């Protein structure tokens, strides 16, 4: 297929078929999610479940690839669905203009091979992790603040987010992004690494960030992979 000719030979024909049969949930469609959706659609993941209850605000324009001036006030889920349709109409999209919560989390990830955490609250990340554990699917989780980014890949049997954010019983403080904001390039970088992890999980190939946290600090220009267990 000409559309995917430049995926070859880094990906094989067989791997391209595996991607086309894969179903991936992207939860959160802001800075991270917008980038992830773009890259998953282009590389040829066959089905996407997209969820975000937010609508675009003017303050999103500095970094969110799906945000345009014309779309301020419009649903992020709708914008993501339309963008996938414009880039690759072979991708089947299910879009929910809704926030992830205890009631809808299981149904949202049901039938997916993998979920990607692009959320913006630590509390919601744990909710998604729990749902992925129950569904027995891997989760790729990324987060950003200022020029700082982190990514981890979590399989159902792994300790997961508690290794980064502390014990479940400990108070869940807000992340430092409330103070640091988010620049335009940090989400794109972290979204790319999340997408790369997702593709490797789907293809069962390459090195993964399992039980390891990638920490990127673009101001200090440091890239650390921290062994968490």
Q: Which of 199, 48, 92 is nearest to 138 (CA)?
A: 199
Cα–Cα distance for residue pair 44/63, rounded to 1 Å = 24
Nearer to another protein, 87 or 145 (CB): 145
By CB under 8 A, residue 23 contacts another protein: no
Nearer to another protein, 203 or 228 (CB): 228
Say if residue 224 is preceded by a cis peptide, omega within 30 of 0: no
The 85-124 contact track toward another protein, x by CB under 8 A, reads ---------------------------------xxxxx--
Show the tokens assigned to 58. Answer: 């003017």
Asked if 222 is part of the footprint of another protein (rule: CB under 8 A), the reply reads yes
The nearest distance, CB 155 to another protein, in angstroms, is 18
Angle between helices 31-43 and 185-203 (to 10 degrees): 40
Q: How far is CA 203 from CA 63, 73, 197, 212, in A?
A: 30, 38, 10, 20
171 is an interface residue for another protein by CB under 8 A: yes
Under the criterion CB under 8 A, does residue 53 sit at the interface with another protein?
no
CA distances from 18 to 8, 12, 38, 41, 81 (A): 14, 10, 19, 14, 22
Q: Which stretch binds another protein (CB under 8 A): 9-17, 78-86, 129-137, 161-169?
A: 161-169
Contact between residue 35 and residue 66 where contact means Cβ atoms under 8 Å apart: no
Token pair, residue 10, equals 């880094």
Q: Binding residue for another protein (CB under 8 A) from 180, 192, 203, 218?
A: 180
What is the distance between the alpha carbons of residues 173 and 65, in angstroms, rounded to a whole number? 28
| Closer residue to another protein (CB): 72 or 215 | 215
Among 125, 129, 158, 188, binds another protein (CB under 8 A): 125
Task: Please report whether residue 148 would count as binding another protein according to CB under 8 A.
Answer: yes
Question: Footprint of another protein on this chain (CB under 8 A)?
Answer: 28, 30-33, 118-122, 125, 142-146, 148-150, 163-166, 171, 173-177, 179-180, 182, 187, 213, 215, 217, 220, 222, 224-229
């Amino acid at each position: 297929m000409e559309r995917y000719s430049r995926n070859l030979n880094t990906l094989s024909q067989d791997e391209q078929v595996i991607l086309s049969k894969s179903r991936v949930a992207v939860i959160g469609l802001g800075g991270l999610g917008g980038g992830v959706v773009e890259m998953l659609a282009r590389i040829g993941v066959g089905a996407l479940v997209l969820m975000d209850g937010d609508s675009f605000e003017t303050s999103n324009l500095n970094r969110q690839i799906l945000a345009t001036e014309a779309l301020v006030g419009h649903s992020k889920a709708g914008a993501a669905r339309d963008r996938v349709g414009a880039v690759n109409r072979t991708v089947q999209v299910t879009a929910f203009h809704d926030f992830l919560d205890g009631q809808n989390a299981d149904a949202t990830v049901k039938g997916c091979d993998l979920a990607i955490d692009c959320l913006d609250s630590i509390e919601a990340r744990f909710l998604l992790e729990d749902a992925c554990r129950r569904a027995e699917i891997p989760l790729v989780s990324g987060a950003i603040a200022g020029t700082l980014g982190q990514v981890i890949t979590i399989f159902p049997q792994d300790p997961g987010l508690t290794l980064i954010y502390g014990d479940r019983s400990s108070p869940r403080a807000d992340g430092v992004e409330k103070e640091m904001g988010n620049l335009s390039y940090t989400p794109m970088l972290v979204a790319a690494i999340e997408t790369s992890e997702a593709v490797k999980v789907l293809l069962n190939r390459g090195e993964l960030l399992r039980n390891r946290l990638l920490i990127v600090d673009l101001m200090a220009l440091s890239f650390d992979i921290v062994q968490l267990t």
